[in-house]
Structure 1
Amino acid sequence: MATVKSSQNSLFKDLLVLSRFTKYNPVFTTFAGAFSCLLGGSAVVGPGSDVSLAWVFQQTALTVAACYAFCGAGMVWNDYIDRDIDANVARTKDRPLASGKVSTAQAMAWMAFQIIACWWILYFMLEGQDVNKNMFPAALGSFLYPYGKRPTMRKFYIYPQYILGFTIAWPAVCGRAAIFHGRESYAETVTASMPLLNMVFFWTIFLNTAYSYQDVVDDRKMGVNSFYNVLGKHVHLLLWLLLIPVAVCIPMYIEQFHSAWLWVSWAGVWALSLLRQVLRFDANDPSSGGGVHVDNFLLGAWTVVACAVELLRCYYA
């Protein structure tokens, strides 16, 4: 009996590892939704409003939970498709599917459970409105992402960073929908979310390119399709170029809130942090990408706090 329980515990731990729930990486997928939901809430709370602070925080928590669960499912799918590649890369050879610790049947069942959980969270959060419209784009991106790494995709100028960037940025729409469903049409929600969606899209490409550069030696041997394999030592120039749309989209998004706090805590802090990151990155030292990844996680976490402060400021104004 003890052996069976030990085996079940081991499987559960391996499933958590498979979804990256033992790491901070899945939290990246929640940032766009949290930013959008908190600042969307700041636009509708305040004197005379019937929107409570507790409701906005509830909607934010649900947005984060849905993104987190769906990311877990996406990680399973990625590792399922990449299991043969992962087995030949030093950094990924011990992943549960690549190493055989989790079977494909177990992985698929775990993935399905997380997808269903995400759908139900969105259904409750959006009161049944436009649930599939909010979920389908991220589902399509997650499905296509591992295929974007294949060398044949290079012929069509498709790189996995494009797909990943879109998938992580899409929750900006879901976060706004959590606040404005019933107040505006789905098309209006998407349009209003575009500056934030584009910002997170290019930011994700920036941080993923820097982070994934750690695998450049193994990836080149296997012909993995990626920006850094195409550009080689020019990858540093690419990182500089990716900062331009980020720098443009942040002001476009926060300008609508007329908040000095956001200009300092978001635009100001991001400008200093991203400049520091790109200056620290060394194309001759692939390991330098790891530090960039950590810095961006801290930057995203700080911005969630900054948006929460803006919500509180507007509520108590």
Structure 2
Amino acid sequence: MAPTETRPEADGQVRDAVRGNWVDHRAPAWTRPYLRLSRADRPIGTWLLLLPCWWGLLLAMVSDGRASWYDLWVFVGCGIGALLMRGAGCTWNDITDRHIDGKVARTASRPIPSGQVTTRQALVWAVIQCLVSFAILLSFAPMAIALGVLALLPVAIYPFAKRFTWWPQVFLGIAFNWGVLLAWTAHSGSLGLPAVLLYLSGMAWTLFYDTIYAHQDKEDDALIGVKSTARLFGDAATPRWLAIFLVASVALMGLAIALAAPSGAFLTLALLIAGPWAFGWHLLWQMRKLDVNDNDRLLVLFRSNRDAGLLPVLFFAVALLA
């Protein structure tokens, strides 16, 4: 008799979790539903929330040429905060979508629709994550604290966006790239135009990668009436829109760099510009590999955006040291 194949959602595992992840195999059993709510078994979202923070911090440091131990704490604090706030946001998303998730194949195995936790337990978990994140935020500059509190608004609205707009990815972009503004301000004490342009670049990037991601659910979304850019564009027009988002993201990042780079520092400028150049080539590679009807490939390409976002971080860091 052939061995029985283990279902991806066996033992509470979520269907699109990273195989072999530490949550499903090493975390204490009682913590697993809460860690799954926070997407700790799917770390790509934490990276996508964190990387814009590091973009903003590093470009701010290059811009004014200042670096201190406080900046190292901002760097680390953004990492911890991204982990916590991504967890809180995903928990809130699962609470608001609990009736929808059970009708979608990819999300039916999530902790709330599968019965691993109650809605009340999930809400308490979301509040705990927000409070710990707020404690970290209090160590930043006053304006950064205000921006951090304000960030709760788009986080709260995003789960409802797919109910009233074909562009819910815009609301995700508003929330996921807020760290650019926060980290820039944590370093410099105030906002600047380069930070705003870098923020808009991140929003265009989010539209790029989350449109790819949304194609996984387009059939289920159509059945239950959930909107997305994947459904709006359709299979034929998606590549054209992805190209628009690619160009917009790279161009806005380049403009932010041009305004932020120190005057006369040509080597620094060259290293900074290498960031969006490499970033753009990675997005182009994703487009060349794209098959909007191959869910496995879509997930691989979506997850590859961690590497895409790390490329500007690398070149910004080298420019800081130049």
TM-score (norm 1): 0.84
Going from structure 1 to structure 2, the CA distance change for 1:162 and 1:214 (only over 3 Å counts) comes to same
State the Cα distance separating 1:42 from its structure 2 match: 2.6
What is the aligned partner in structure 2 of residue 236 from structure 1? Answer: 239
Q: CA separation in 1, counterparts of 2:144 and 2:123?
A: 23
What is the aligned partner in structure 2 of residue 23 from structure 1? Answer: 42
What is the aligned partner in structure 1 of residue 61 from structure 2? Answer: 41
8 Å CA contact 1:254, 1:263 repeated in 2? yes
Deviations 1:53-110 (A, max 9, x none): x332222111222232111110000000111111121111111112110111211111
State the Cα distance separating 1:210 from its structure 2 match: 0.4
What is the aligned partner in structure 2 of residue 12 from structure 1? Answer: 31
Give the % identical residues: 27
8 Å CA contact 1:281, 1:289 repeated in 2? yes
Paired residue type of 1:240 = A
Q: CA separation in 1, counterparts of 2:101 and 2:64?
A: 46
What is the aligned partner in structure 2 of residue 223 from structure 1? Answer: 225
Counting only pairs closer than 5 Å after superposition, residues 287-306 of structure 1 correspond to structure 2 as 287-306=296-315
Deviations 1:181-236 (A, max 9, x none): 2xx4xxxx053411100000010011001012111121111121111112222222
Whose helix proportion is higher, 1 or 2? 1
**1:261 is aligned to 2:261:** no
Secondary structure of 2:138's partner?
A: helix
Q: CA separation in 2, counterparts of 1:306 and 1:133?
A: 29
Gaps of 5+ in 2: 1-26, 262-267
Secondary structure of 1:97's partner?
A: coil
Which of 101, 109, 113 aligns to 1:94? It is 109
**1:165 is aligned to 2:185:** no
**1:85 is aligned to 2:100:** yes
**1:278 is aligned to 2:287:** yes
TM-score (norm 2): 0.83
Q: CA separation in 2, counterparts of 1:131 and 1:119?
A: 11
Gaps of 5+ in 1: 1-7
Q: CA separation in 1, counterparts of 2:122 and 2:315?
A: 37
Which segment drifts farther, 282-291 or 95-104?
Answer: 282-291
Q: CA separation in 2, counterparts of 1:312 and 1:16?
A: 37
Q: CA separation in 2, counterparts of 1:90 and 1:32?
A: 31
8 Å CA contact 2:88, 2:125 repeated in 1? yes
Aligned length: 287
Paired residue type of 1:13 = R
CA RMSD of aligned residues (A): 1.9
Which segment drifts farther, 19-28 or 74-83?
Answer: 19-28
Report which structure shows greater RCO (CA 8 Å, sep ≥6).
1
Paired residue type of 1:209 = T
Which of 190, 200, 203 aligns to 1:201? It is 203
Q: CA separation in 2, counterparts of 1:215 and 1:103?
A: 25
8 Å CA contact 1:38, 1:56 repeated in 2? no
